[in-house]
Amino acid sequence: MRLRIRLAALFALFAGSILTAGQAPQPAPPQGNVPTPTFKAQVEYVEVDALVLDEQGNFVRDLTKDDFQVFEDGKAQTISTFALVDIPVEQAERPLFASRPIEPDVESNERPFDGRVYVLVLDDLHTDALRSQRVKAAARLFIERSLGENDLMAVLFTAGRSQDAQEFTNSKRLLLAAVDKFMGRKLVSSTLARNDEYFRSPNRGGRISDPYEQERVYNAQSMLSQLKQVAEWFGGVRGRRKTMMLISEGIDYDLSDVIRRWDAPASGASGIMDDIRETIAATARSNVSIYAIDPRGLSGGEDNITVGGFANSDAPGTSDSGASVAPPGDIGMSSLMSELRMSQDSLRQLADESGGFAVVNANDFRGAFDRVVRDNSSYYVLAYYPPTTKRDGKFHRIEVKVNRPGLRVRSRRGYASPKGNPPRPATTGGMTPELREAINSPIPISGLTLRVFAAPFKGTSPNASVLLGVELLGRDLSLATNNKVEISLLAIDTKQKVWGLRTDTLTMNLRPETRTRVEQTGFRMLNRMDLPAGRYQVRVAARDVEKTNVGSVVYDLDVPDFYKQPFGISGLTLTSMSGSAMVTAKADDQLKDALPAPPIAQRTFPQNDEIALFAEVYDSSNGVPHKVDILSTVTTDEGTVLFKNEETRDSSELQGATGGYGYAARIPLSELQPGMYVLRVEGRSRLGDRQVAGREVQFQVVPPVNAAGR
């Protein structure tokens, strides 16, 4: 009871703060260990990342700006900005008792993003269904073995299927779930299709056409369109290497002339050559490297191109009259092998031209994946202002040289200037252009520090009511009278539908005592979103108008179907004495009686603190009398339980309620040594198959804070 009184008193003290909320500049670039070139916003500049290797293939780290020369269309350019990027590979820490890391329930941009950025494109349009498992195995290998905790990845499919794709995240669970949905749908080989057409046709004279030619063109265009869209979107990410990992068996068109001759005319009624040109131009313009992985591995042509019922010139068929016949000379094993080479060449050329590499005829991808990580971990970023800013669509060759002998450079080979007038900025949901750009960024933007948590509760059928908390640190804010802080938030589902879009503007009219408190801690805002069950990405961006500081956070959210599952649990909300010291600009009425103070995003607590928690356990028992056990535990890294609180509830409590048991507990931290712990809240039904539902949160205890705040 003492905790409730002390927290409630603190809450009452700060609840009177005058932060006026009303609904309704260029975002800071990623900072920290990874330098980012900075230029005037209104001027387009060219950015080149360069890998410099010695004769043994090792990256050379001791070069300076003066060691480089950059040429555009054969003319030397002035390097305006230069940086060495050296990104560590970090692995997620997990409790020793757990098989995998516990996903955080709070996301923050407090630490500037310093990882790699990947888009994994799974080419279902050009992968045989029988090799789907190979694609999934290769993708899983990279995610589980090579993806760092500080990296971001998205998963896309060339056939569209946005509901199965995965937006940028560092959650291996979500990435692997997207990969597991892959299924190849490649058409039968053109050679085999023409072979079958030959024996079906009553008139076998003349050229045998591919009956699926138009569909192949469509599939190739769809795949190239996906690559182009990714490249164009990637253009907004600056100061780091941008990588598309394409797992594909390649397309059935010879791209060599198009890639090497930018002025080559379009050919074919389908216009596929124009699509190839535009795709390569987009990767060049946005400085995107493609790493192509052929899942077919090292095997014979008969396996690489699925063969069934093939009749070639060495195995003649039979005509309707019984005479022995054979397909034309361009239908046979040689044409199968030609298809294989052409498809592999398409992968090589797409990768080589963009500064990446292709992996073909290989069964073990570990070495290649290690090389991809190395390429994206250490490199130089050079940037210069182009000699012309005309939007004429022309391609400009880039060459990067170093003045030390014996070194070789890998970099983009050029870029295509955009065409037409620049697009007009749109206005959405009351957001300023700066907030809109920040909220669209896949990379958390540091500058204005945010901490975000989300907790789904059962709402009005069929929706969940998601509590969303946003905390801003006072050290980043201007507390000048009448200064404004803008906060925008939204949720995006797997079909790209936007939910809950809103922008709040807070005016800093603060009492002197409140100003001091905000300076020391910051402030929080709590909002609710009504969302149907599903998977979402919550995006939050904030801007301090006077300081022009901008920050953004991306949060992965799974919303359970509380109305269909027979037994479930809400999100877990926490508060504490130390956390309640932060000013709450906007509270949540639904939890004001469940917790002694507003819920917090804090997950590091001093040893002399005390945690209060609240969750709801949902039970659809259809009126059958039974008991439910609800318990909370605190476990050490080694798996030792140091705290346990257990309650037994009766199903009669559900009468007239929303089908849930409210559960609250208090956890004193004085007996816990400094270190990492796992808090678990769990409900266990005694009915039937004794279903269990639980939530886990990892938190840290640090040495106690004294009265002076030290």
For the chain, which ranges sit under pLDDT 50? Answer: 1-20, 23-43, 255-270, 300-318, 320-324, 427, 707-709
Same-domain pairing of 436 and 368 = no
Is residue 280 situated within a structural domain?
Answer: yes
Is residue 392 situated within a structural domain?
Answer: no
Q: How many domains does the chain have?
A: 2
Same-domain pairing of 371 and 484 = no
Q: What does the pLDDT read at residue 241?
A: 83
Contact (Cβ atoms closer than 8 angstroms) between residue 118 and residue 356: no
Q: Which three-class secondary structure state does DSSP give residue 666?
A: strand
Residue listed under structure tokens 């090497």: 260
Q: Which residues in 508-626 belong to E strands, given as ranges?
A: 523-531, 534-544, 549-559, 567-569, 573-576, 583-586, 604-606, 610-619
Same-domain pairing of 562 and 677 = yes
Q: What does the pLDDT read at residue 706?
A: 65
Same-domain pairing of 355 and 493 = no
Is residue 93 situated within a structural domain?
Answer: no
Residue 146 sits in which domain range?
A: 117-375
Structural tokens at position 303: 């396996």
Give the contacts of 37 (CB within 8 A, at least 6 positions apart). 45, 47, 80, 81, 83, 238, 239, 381, 383
Which helix (H) or strand (E) covers residue 144, if one does? helix 132-146
Report the alpha-carbon distance of residue 385 to residue 383 in Å, rounded: 7
**Domain end (from 331, 355, 375):** 375
Report the alpha-carbon distance of residue 599 to residue 588 in Å, rounded: 9
Is residue 102 situated within a structural domain?
Answer: no
pLDDT digits (tens, 9 = 90+) for 392-441: 778 888 999 999 999 999 888 887 777 767 656 554 556 788 898 889 88
Give the orientation angle of helix 366-375 with respect to helix 132-146, to 10 degrees. 50
Give the contacts of 32 (CB within 8 A, at least 6 positions apart). 111, 112, 113, 114, 446
Q: What does the pLDDT read at residue 301?
A: 45
* CATH number (domain holding residue 674): 2.60.40.3880
Strand partners, 108: 451
Is residue 409 situated within a structural domain?
Answer: no
Report the alpha-carbon distance of residue 397 to residue 418 in Å, rounded: 15
**Domain end (from 359, 375, 391):** 375
Same-domain pairing of 355 and 455 = no
Q: What does the pLDDT read at residue 414?
A: 81
Contact (Cβ atoms closer than 8 angstroms) between residue 428 and residue 498: no
Q: What does the pLDDT read at residue 328?
A: 65
Report the alpha-carbon distance of residue 268 to residue 142 in Å, rounded: 38
Report the alpha-carbon distance of residue 449 to residue 114 in Å, rounded: 16
Contacts by residues 307-310 (CB-CB < 8 Å, ≥ 24 positions apart)? 307/189, 307/192, 307/336, 308/192, 309/192, 309/195, 309/196, 310/191, 310/192, 310/195, 310/336
Structural tokens at position 52: 């410099």
* CATH number (domain holding residue 369): 3.40.50.410
Same-domain pairing of 356 and 433 = no
Q: Which three-class secondary structure state does DSSP give residue 215?
A: helix
Closest by CA to 455, choosing from 588, 258, 262, is 588
Same-domain pairing of 358 and 438 = no
This prediction's pTM = 0.81
Closest by CA to 350, choosing from 233, 230, 244, is 244
Is residue 610 situated within a structural domain?
Answer: yes
Is residue 400 situated within a structural domain?
Answer: no
Same-domain pairing of 151 and 226 = yes
Is residue 666 situated within a structural domain?
Answer: yes
Same-domain pairing of 363 and 450 = no
**Domain end (from 312, 347, 375):** 375
Same-domain pairing of 371 and 437 = no
Same-domain pairing of 151 and 20 = no
Report the alpha-carbon distance of residue 23 to residue 3 in Å, rounded: 34
Q: What does the pLDDT read at residue 563?
A: 92
Same-domain pairing of 123 and 264 = yes
Contact (Cβ atoms closer than 8 angstroms) between residue 435 and residue 450: no
